[in-house]
Amino acid sequence: MNLFDETSNITKQLLDGVMKQLTVTDEDAFVSDDVTKVIRTRITAEICSTLVKLHSLKISDNQLLIKKMAKWLIDNQNSNGSWNETHLHYNQPSTVFTSICALSLLEVSESFPEFNINEEIFHNAAKFILDQEIDFGAYKKSELVHADILNADAMAAAFLLKFGNKSSNENYIKAGERAIANICLHQFIDGAYPYSGPKRAYPYKYHFYIPCIHYQAVTLYYLIKSAHYIKSESLQHSILSGAKWLLKNQKDNGYFQWKNSGLNFALYLSATYAFVLPIYQNLLSDDTNATKLMRESLNVLKEQIFDNILLRWEKGNSKSVIVGFFEARKGGSIGEYPSIFKFMRILHRFHREISRMKISNHITPSKLISRPTGYSAYLGHVESSTNHPDLYMTSEALDALSTSLQIMSEK
């Protein structure tokens, strides 16, 4: 079976799983979540974007559903132009969710001009994002996280440059270019992008100036989207260097060397294996190793599917746990942190090794986040003690897989 057919099959399988959690009314449609019971605008936006791409490829015809999802996204835009980032204990405006929702609607508008999506929706989103710029090209991630998170900058840039070019708005274009410059400026010499800049920011106790395999892929994915709209040798060099760093950290069997990934709360995230496909296709299509790893990445991805939904983390077993325990010291020691904090990070990696082995149909909140201080101040919004089917990973993967199909169809 060729790569296109394999990618198409996985996309269909995951989409079938998502559609079981779709709520459709006479007016609109959105994706709910049987596990978290939280409705996230980002998930609906990424599924909507996936359906738009599959429609353009004539793989599926979901025009009415796309229209209903677009209406739901529009209805959920805040008056200040933003969309909220929603988690179990959090529901506030976010640069990340705003960029992704706006990008999705922009794709809908381009593919279906007859929907007559009001351009003010995009101007309002752009204005909100511009208001989040806390330094030159650095965008506050959300109302919860005030740090300059580089993958959030990349998402903002992708929307600002796409819409800026469409609307001939130099202000948006220049803002997108600043975000790109900021990302390239912070890239490590080995090609890795740190998760954030070197400054500590609310609400975290320490910085995030460390490499992360998952967010390396996410950042590259959105930088490539931006590269369509600006000519920049430094950006092309940055993307190529970043892609080679990913390649270097992926083993011959497709699995990543997570010991070299310093961001604990993004350890083993399953959608990583989908993001690498369009990255390698765009930049390294003539690289035989990259071609092999694309196929191996799909094989790894297939292993993470549970009831047609991706598990949050790459599945573990007794062998991988033993290896993970031996590697925890290296991974937990990445970054300039006090010794006691490194020790806590190592313990957290032990916790993740055990957690990803146990699969459950629901989230089991970990005691690691039972208090708002201490090490919990360095974790994500939810830390589960069990692995679980995750729509968040699934929608991200579907967006990347459908992009991969689009790239293959154009060649």
Q: Give the pLDDT of residue 376.
A: 46
Q: Give the pLDDT of residue 410.
A: 85
**134 to 201, 210, 284, 406: CA distances (angstroms):** 11, 20, 34, 35
pLDDT tens sequence across 141-179: 988 888 899 999 999 999 999 999 999 999 999 999 999
Statement: residue 378 has pLDDT above 60: no
pLDDT tens sequence across 106-128: 999 999 999 999 999 999 999 99
Supply the mean pLDDT for the chain.
93
Statement: residue 309 has pLDDT above 90: yes
pLDDT tens sequence across 221-270: 999 999 999 988 999 999 999 999 999 999 999 999 999 999 999 999 99
Q: How many domains does the chain have?
A: 1
E strand or H helix that includes residue 135: strand 133-135
pLDDT tens sequence across 329-376: 999 999 999 999 999 899 999 999 999 999 999 887 776 555 544 454
Q: Give the pLDDT of residue 155.
A: 98
Q: Return the CATH number at 271.
A: 1.50.10.20
Longest CA–CA separation in the chain, Å = 59
Query: Which residues span the domain enclosing 320?
Result: 3-410
Q: How far is CA 286 from the centre of its chain?
A: 26
Q: What is the pTM of this model?
A: 0.96
**299 to 131, 218, 321: CA distances (angstroms):** 42, 20, 20
DSSP symbol at 389: B
CB 366 within 8 A of CB 243: no
pLDDT tens sequence across 75-93: 999 999 999 998 877 889 9
**358 to 321, 355, 367: CA distances (angstroms):** 12, 6, 16
pLDDT tens sequence across 175-211: 999 999 999 999 999 999 999 999 888 778 889 999 9
